[in-house]
């Protein structure tokens, strides 16, 4: 679905703080904080994950999964390879 690093990067890309993301997604601030503090893929209630992803997409973010191409051709950020010792 989405990794904690993707969430943080997506927010940074659009200049959104955690509180605003929580408000736009209709979830609590501690929920967003917990999601972003997790390692690797964010786990939790699927409905909550969908709300957060939708809020990011509504704000203009396109999430690109592993081995996917960016069809829109817009600007974006992606790691070439994961940093050593990190979980994906």
Is residue 13, in this structure, part of any structural domain at all? yes
User: CATH number of the domain that 44 lies in?
Assistant: 1.10.260.40
Q: 2-57 pLDDT, tens per residue?
A: 889 889 999 998 999 999 999 999 999 999 999 999 988 898 899 999 999 999 99
Spatial separation of the C-alpha atoms in residues 58 and 39, rounded to whole Å:
25
Is residue 77, in this structure, part of any structural domain at all? no
Is residue 80, in this structure, part of any structural domain at all? no
Q: By residue range, what is the domain housing residue 17?
A: 4-58
Radius of gyration of the chain (CA): 13
pLDDT of residue 82 exceeding 80, the answer is no
Confidence (pLDDT) at 21: 98
Please state the pTM of the whole predicted model: 0.78
Is residue 74, in this structure, part of any structural domain at all? no
pLDDT of residue 61 exceeding 70, the answer is yes
The backbone torsions φ and ψ at residue 13, rounded to the nearest 5 degrees and listed phi first, read -60, -35
Is residue 38, in this structure, part of any structural domain at all? yes
* Number of domains observed in the structure of the chain: 1
């Amino acid at each position: 679905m989405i990794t904690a690093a993707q969430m943080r990067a997506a927010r940074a890309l659009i200049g959104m703080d955690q509180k605003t993301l929580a408000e736009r997604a209709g979830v609590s601030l501690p929920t967003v904080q917990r999601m972003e503090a997790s390692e690797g893929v964010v786990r939790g209630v699927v409905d909550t994950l969908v709300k957060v992803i939708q809020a990011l997409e509504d704000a203009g973010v396109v999430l690109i999964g592993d081995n996917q191409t960016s069809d829109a051709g817009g600007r974006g950020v992606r790691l070439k390879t994961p940093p050593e010792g990190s979980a994906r």
